[in-house]
């Protein structure tokens, strides 16, 4: 009987140790993804042009991230995949301070993993803090006309044609290739006509399309680039309708102007 009691005590102790170990193994949050090595430094002053910090560059390849002459707001929008109208506030100094970044992961990390690493870099090197809040704003909803779409050819996966979205002159037929409705909405948002009113995709049309239309010159701006497609939307069976929408707005609260050394 004594031997059986001792055996039970040992079994109970073993179970306690097992679950304690499991708690240590599974209860601890995973460490955030981070770059193996990252160089972050202020960009050199821009020489030439009309002042400011000049054009910026941002590119990613498997396991690598490279950015030059980029401001923290632009870097933040890249890290969190924000549309330009989703970031609505940041300290004033951020528009003039630009940085060069070269970062590398331990392996050929995917784009999604690199984005998570970039977010961690912003927190670690710049101590960047932000918040988001729902806000009701005026938007233009991109919608399908009651008679349906036209001049919109669904793209097949085997379609070999690369995107060819160069501007053309008025009255010249144009085909925009491999365009999603979300892409089109973002393009329309960039128009001078839209100014600060974002265009939201409410078409409900998934996939990619080749759009064929004749650009219509905008009488206000005299432009056909971007603005030209707004007047041509009826040719595609699409239209814009003003609405109110609640979207998440991001605001950068603070960050260090001088990043932590490499």
pLDDT in tens, 44-65: 876 654 445 678 999 999 999 9
User: Is 10 part of any domain?
Assistant: no
- DSSP H helices, the chain, are 2-27, 72-79, 111-126, 181-189, 227-232
Residue 94 sits in the same domain as residue 156: no
* Residue range 109-114: mean pLDDT, rounded: 92
Residue 109 sits in the same domain as residue 180: no
User: Is 251 part of any domain?
Assistant: no
Question: What is the span of the domain harbouring residue 57?
Answer: 37-130
* Residue range 74-90: mean pLDDT, rounded: 92
Instruction: Give the chain's domain count.
Output: 2
pLDDT, tens digit, 9 for 90 and up, residues 226-256:
456 888 899 999 999 999 989 899 999 999 9
Residue 125 sits in the same domain as residue 196: no
Question: Which of 68-72, 105-109, 172-176 has the largest mean confidence?
Answer: 68-72
Cα–chain-centroid distance for residue 139?
19
Place of tokens 């349906």: 148
Q: What percent of the chain has pLDDT over 90?
A: 55
User: Is 119 part of any domain?
Assistant: yes
Residue 126 sits in the same domain as residue 43: yes
Q: Given 98, 130, 162, which residue is the final one in a domain? A: 130
* Contacts of 143 by beta carbon, 8 Å cutoff, 6+ apart: 202, 203, 238, 239, 240, 241
Confidence band of 38 (pLDDT split at 50, 70, 90): very high
Nearest C-alpha neighbor of 236 from the set 149, 148, 174: 149
* Residue range 66-72: mean pLDDT, rounded: 95
Place of tokens 């704003």: 137
Judge contact between 129 and 255, C-beta under 8 A. Answer: yes
State the sign of the Cα–Cα–Cα–Cα dihedral 85, 32, 262, 38. Answer: negative
pLDDT, tens digit, 9 for 90 and up, residues 129-145:
999 999 998 899 999 99
pLDDT at 127: 97
Q: What is the DSSP letter of 92?
A: G
User: Is 255 part of any domain?
Assistant: no
């Amino acid at each position: 009987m004594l031997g059986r009691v001792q055996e039970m005590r040992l079994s109970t102790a073993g179970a306690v140790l097992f679950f304690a170990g499991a708690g240590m193994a599974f209860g601890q949050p995973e460490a955030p993804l981070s770059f193996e090595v990252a160089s972050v430094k202020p960009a050199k002053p821009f020489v030439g042009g009309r002042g400011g910090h000049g054009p910026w560059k941002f590119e990613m390849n498997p396991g690598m991230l490279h950015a030059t002459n980029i401001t923290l707001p632009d870097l933040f929008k890249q890290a969190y995949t924000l549309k330009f109208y989703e970031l609505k506030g940041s300290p004033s100094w951020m528009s003039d301070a630009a940085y060069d970044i070269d970062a590398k992961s331990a392996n050929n990390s995917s784009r999604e993993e690199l984005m998570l690493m970039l977010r961690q870099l912003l927190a670690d090197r710049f101590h960047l803090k932000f918040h988001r809040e729902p806000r009701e704003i005026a938007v233009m909803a991109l919608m399908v006309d009651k008679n349906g779409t036209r001049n919109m050819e669904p793209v097949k996966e085997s379609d070999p044609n690369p995107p060819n979205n160069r501007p053309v002159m008025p009255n010249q037929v144009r085909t925009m290739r491999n365009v999603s409705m979300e892409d089109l909405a973002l393009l329309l948002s960039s128009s001078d006509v839209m100014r600060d009113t974002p265009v939201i995709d409410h078409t409900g049309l998934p996939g990619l399309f080749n759009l064929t239309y004749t650009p219509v010159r905008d009488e206000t701006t005299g432009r056909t680039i971007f603005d030209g497609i707004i007047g041509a939307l009826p040719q595609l069976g699409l239209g814009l309708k003003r609405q109110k929408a609640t979207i998440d707005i991001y605001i950068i609260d603070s960050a260090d102007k001088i990043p932590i050394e490499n």
